[in-house]
Structure 1
Amino acid sequence: MSQSNTENFTNPSTFILLGIPGLETAHVWLSIPFCAIYAIAIVGNLTILLIVKTEPSLHEPMFYFLCVLAISDLVLSTSTLLKILSIFWFNSREIAFNACLSQMFFIHSFATIESGILAAMALDRYVAICHPLRHSTILTNPMVAKIALAVVLRSGTFILPYPLLARQWPYCRTNIIPEPYCVHIAVVKLACGDTRISNYYGLFVLFCVLGLDVISIAISYMQILRAIFSLPTKDARLKTFGTCGSHLCTIVIFYIPSLFSSLMYRFGQNFPQHVHVLLANMCFLLPPMLNPIIYGVKAKQIRCRLLGLVTRK
């Protein structure tokens, strides 16, 4: 076991992940729902990718964005849950310093990609509802590819400073991380000296990158609601609004836990540590599991294709 107390070291060779502090005795039992979540996330998102790939009627912008969302969910769940399960099952708490920074980059970058794709999907719904006759000319396949590429490049550009800055700090307190994986704020808290640059940059990404996504989603849905309420009949309004149902559910399960977790890390010092950790886990575990379920139930095209595959088998 590497250094895990308060000896002085500049760059530790390894960090020690505690899993869920305060619930160590329940790790084996907690592994059951965590493993089930991972299995559902993998099967569900791979199913979404397969259905969209094999069904020509789904080759349209909303489902292309959904595929990018499914890929980000697969990477996000794999980069977190595999380490969580190794801690729960094998007590494998050590993680190399570089591996920790790499995990940090993957977790935050793909979470940011997911936020950007949700904003892109809101744009698609806005164009489809407010400018239906121009939808196919505005959101062409090349345009969808450019939007997806821009979302990925934006994520990598803004998240890359996280591990680069974390690498510069001296670590002279402890190498114990009270989490089951490496996230930015948890690693920076272990550093000595003045880490305000990392803290301020983390807040900048939270409010200026993710915040802009939220604002763009809100503006899109304000315009969508205006268009819906201008429809002549209640049935038409409900049918049109129903096309946004799955996207709205995805927005709620992604942003609400993320917001509470970020605020709790910075201002909720009176909450027990295991509450912090469990809430943070929900940010990374619930969306990958629930997104394919939501779209499988809400999106008629995917539901019909899935039922067709099951019936045929």
Structure 2
Amino acid sequence: MKAITITGKGEVALSEVKKPDHASVGHVIIKMKAMGINAGDKFLISGNYPPGFFTQSRDDIAGVSGVGEVIELGNGVPEKYIGKQVTVYRSLTQSSEVTGTWSEYAHLPYLQCAVLPDEVDPLAYSGSLVNIITPYSAWKQAVQEGHKGIVITAGNSDTGKAMLGICIHANLPVISIVRNDQGKLDLEKIGVKHVLVQDSEHFQQQFASLANELQTTAIFDGVGGSLLSEIVNSAPPKSTVYAYGFLGGNTPLSFHTSILMKGITIKGFSNFNTETVQNHEKLELALSEISEIIPMPHFQFKTGETFGFDQVNAALSYVSINGSKAVLEIY
């Protein structure tokens, strides 16, 4: 079969590799359709990650995300998967028998797959699961740690929108932060009630007032830098920052020592380290719940230009002005 393989650090090539011939215990074979290119896919190709960070693939096949149809089940896989479209994220569990997603046929543990309802367009979920499981597991952890409302800093990102959808589903107060008025309009169309524009004149005062009113003490932060510095200094007492990204670049975090008196906690967040992902029973429940809520518009992948396998280098170089991402599609 055709697959895109990693041939060196930062290098890929279209190759012919052995097609998976049967589904192992706990695994499925998926006839792949499309693969959205997220930051994690590029990170995998770069090779600049610690040992064990990614589940390795047979034949060094690239790709951690994608969507396709399950055509074969291994022993122990629930029957509900057969014949269904699934969105996948290959890093959720470990397996020595993975065939990666940038291929005509993938071989993955079923706990790396969320079933898509029949009525949705599968191509709209070609890179979705990684952007859903991160906020889902953060929500579960935040609630377990006593928080009853969430602030989303990267409000217009795919991950930020997914967290918004989860908060709406869970009936949690939420504040979304965006860069400009257009971002605010975009979020208001999908149901956000409280959205603040980072560049507005009275942003910090507005945030302090609203966050204290709604008691949004869990801060789901994918930006860092100057934005987080403003927020953390105005956050309600006993807030926790769950920092999962740094879209704000290399600007350092700066805060007044008074936040130490308010009991504010700042910690790095990775879905891999959460109980949701590490506990396979809870992961299976999470994937089932995600399958139920995924028709909400908040969970779709922001698709930009589509490329064939023979255009993979152009796909990896694709940059848009609106945050949309490249998609590889098997024709």
TM range, smaller chain: under 0.3
What's the TM-score once normalised by structure 2's chain length? Answer: 0.25
Q: Which has the higher helix share?
A: 1
Point out the structure with max Rg over C-alpha: 1
- When normalised by structure 1's length, the TM-score is 0.26
Q: Indicate the structure with greater strand content.
A: 2
